[in-house]
Structure 1
């Protein structure tokens, strides 16, 4: 049995790994010169960096499982830290919350109640809010915006500004005023509502290629699969002929902005193409600044205060503490905002000024900087957004991508889960390739919990 995987991002590679493990002959077609999709490595100013700074959490169960499956050791490639949020420039007082290494749910209760920079009333209100979510099994009667959810449960003050809203923007890449409350609650269920390890921050200690794509490609090739780079697929015909070669099955694993071109020409998938054509998208920008090696942060990840007029910053990461690239800082801006009106030079000046103010020190001039803007980095995760399933009405054609994983926002974990679901659905629908019946129980089944990105 042969399967064509159109798209070499994390969703497509996850599909290919699962199918290759089951004995299917897979070919991955990727239009770019490298694998990884929107989570890939780039060479900048003599450094191997990423096309955007990514953040994982301990509840990325399927991502961690698949990394181990292909031989990419998460313990070596990811820096695991207890969840800690620091906003040194927060007003009227600096904000800091750290979850201690205690059994759940005590780690969360102690972390919230000991948070600095918030009032006792806010802390008690946050505990009550989480208790409400637990009592309702994290299911809302009707979806609404995150802002409406927080308003309805009296979440105000510094915990709203420094915990709930930043978590929403980081996980959904959509402003709280427009973001789906139910999807946000799902992420809280599987992170703050999960075990203690589920809340850990997993910060990449290596470039994104080494995190998964390189090892996945080696895994696929070692099992007879093929990886074809710089190969754009314009159409998948009725007989699943791709680039002149026939396949028994095909998996469309490209982004939702590209999928309609492959789906719109067939009656069975035209409805999905129309659905995806109506999606809105959100940007992400990453500013890399190279300073002298002695420049560092007091913690690998710091929050910047974007509330005052004229300030845009959200998060800054110390790549020296994470990956050994001393002096390199990565500023991340998620979702639509006033920062989009600035050109690259003005944005670099503004963010460096905000960092100096946050650290209360004068920074040396940057040796270099680079801005990477992904204008359609993720779909806009809004209330009641319709999402397609992995299986399509066209027999033998499957979908994989973060937009297919209906419970979660556009994260690496959602992409990986969608790829695993597509592969297992394909195997269940097809004759076993190795003389045995493929089942959803083969290998490790995907756990229910997610945790972002």
Structure 2
């Protein structure tokens, strides 16, 4: 197993449960991939970027429970609320009945929309349902949303698209968007609920998974990069690992699951399957920036997740208020940890932080932000564009791939990564050489 992100951890756990002898290699010192723990010099533990889960992430939630995570204690569950500070936008009610009824209630009660705007959303949603929430592969989100009032595009579709896909509607697959909308809003009660981690994300799945694997006798090697992957004449696989001790024997395996990021997976497979490697290499990626700050005058009524009005000059789309992450100030007050999320971010760190300060003051009335870190993931997500050809899960006989970018029904989400990992582990049983 190469890679201990959420996909690799899921694959390793499932393969171990299926009776396979598992060895897991991770180049970084910390498991978790793009949703891992980061330690600041003062010892503060943060996520490498602010992430959320939603109630429809059934594979993630089930795996966490199986690893002993108490979901009630670990996750704060809230109805989806996309209202900006001026009150405009849609907020889902607490689940009380059929999901369709909850969505209808949310549309009727949405703030800042007139009845013409609401009707355009209801009419378009009815068309989506009549079409089975399907769209041509070549359709963008804008194509799928034809007929929607521009205000609905601005207040609902764009925030959903940016938060779920990290891309703008015109650059995003309409077919995948509708699938996500159906699963999140209509498939089950509470499917659209936002789940915010009360602890760093690494403590939700990657760390429990690696502890569980070691307890089951699996070998877990963090801080050990696989430099080369080669096929031997007898059909096995050799892994050349970057280790301080060059006298270590080359590990040999019957089957390999490649759970590395797309660019690293492309490098490792360039001499094995050039076509697969080229497909992985060709994926376009978009950055996400998370700006963490202490704020002692954070309003008591600031919700755990607050949508913001973003512009090129005020770029953050959301701010998260971690009310259980507190720090005393020299004046005897209490500062709360805030996380401002800027998707599709192309600003330099200093420019971004200055813009965040102004946006916090203008839209939230928050002054004197003590910014402690801005973490920018330049390759946070692949662009799930219309008609995108994603690498398949099978690379070569005995070599499988998993990750949120591998061919599948979802965009670059934690749920997509976990489901991909589970599918890769299931494939081991049917494709042994």
Corresponding position of 1:253: 259
* CA distance, structure 2, for counterparts of residue 295 and residue 367 of structure 1: 15
Corresponding position of 1:315: 318
Contact 1:99 1:111 survives alignment (8 Å): yes
* CA distance, structure 2, for counterparts of residue 103 and residue 69 of structure 1: 28
In structure 2, relative to structure 1, the CA distance for the partners of 1:40 and 1:127 (3 Å cut) is same
Q: SS state of the match for residue 191, structure 2?
A: helix
Q: Deviations over 1:72-106 (max 9, x none)?
A: 222221111111222014xxx64452323221211
Q: TM-score normalized by structure 1?
A: 0.87
CA RMSD in angstroms comes to 1.8
Q: Which runs of 4+ in 1 moved over 3 A?
A: 93-96, 293-297, 323-326
Contact 2:360 2:366 survives alignment (8 Å): no
- Pick from 227, 230, 246: which aligns with 1:237? 230
Contact 2:269 2:276 survives alignment (8 Å): yes
Corresponding position of 1:133: 128
Contact 1:285 1:372 survives alignment (8 Å): yes
- Pick from 104, 121, 126: which aligns with 1:109? 104
Q: Deviations over 1:409-453 (max 9, x none)?
A: 00100100000000001123349xxxxxxxxxxxxxxxxxxxxxx
* CA distance, structure 2, for counterparts of residue 147 and residue 207 of structure 1: 35
Unaligned runs of 5+ in 1: 432-453
Q: SS state of the match for residue 346, structure 1?
A: helix
Q: TM-score normalized by structure 2?
A: 0.91
* CA distance, structure 1, for counterparts of residue 163 and residue 4 of structure 2: 24
Counterpart check, 1:189 vs 2:182: yes
Q: SS state of the match for residue 389, structure 2?
A: coil
- Pick from 369, 373, 377: which aligns with 1:370? 373
In structure 2, relative to structure 1, the CA distance for the partners of 1:37 and 1:186 (3 Å cut) is same
In structure 2, relative to structure 1, the CA distance for the partners of 1:347 and 1:81 (3 Å cut) is same
Counterpart check, 1:215 vs 2:221: no
Q: SS state of the match for residue 181, structure 2?
A: helix
Corresponding position of 1:287: 291
Relative to structure 2, which stretch is displaced further, 225-234 or 140-149? Answer: 140-149
Shift, 1:29, TM fit: 0.5
Counterpart check, 1:224 vs 2:217: yes
Contact 2:254 2:432 survives alignment (8 Å): no
Contact 1:304 1:355 survives alignment (8 Å): no
Counterpart check, 1:335 vs 2:344: yes
Which residues in structure 2 correspond to 1:394-413 (within 5 Å)?
394-413=396-415
Counterpart check, 1:263 vs 2:261: no
Q: Deviations over 1:289-339 (max 9, x none)?
A: 1122765552111111124x6221211100225x56751110101125xxx
Q: SS state of the match for residue 320, structure 1?
A: strand
Contact 2:297 2:366 survives alignment (8 Å): no
Counterpart check, 1:172 vs 2:165: yes
Shift, 1:22, TM fit: 1.4
Q: SS state of the match for residue 230, structure 2?
A: coil
Corresponding position of 1:356: 361
* CA distance, structure 2, for counterparts of residue 386 and residue 228 of structure 1: 32
- Pick from 18, 28, 36: which aligns with 1:32? 28
* CA distance, structure 1, for counterparts of residue 96 and residue 427 of structure 2: 38
Contact 1:290 1:368 survives alignment (8 Å): yes
* CA distance, structure 2, for counterparts of residue 372 and residue 286 of structure 1: 5
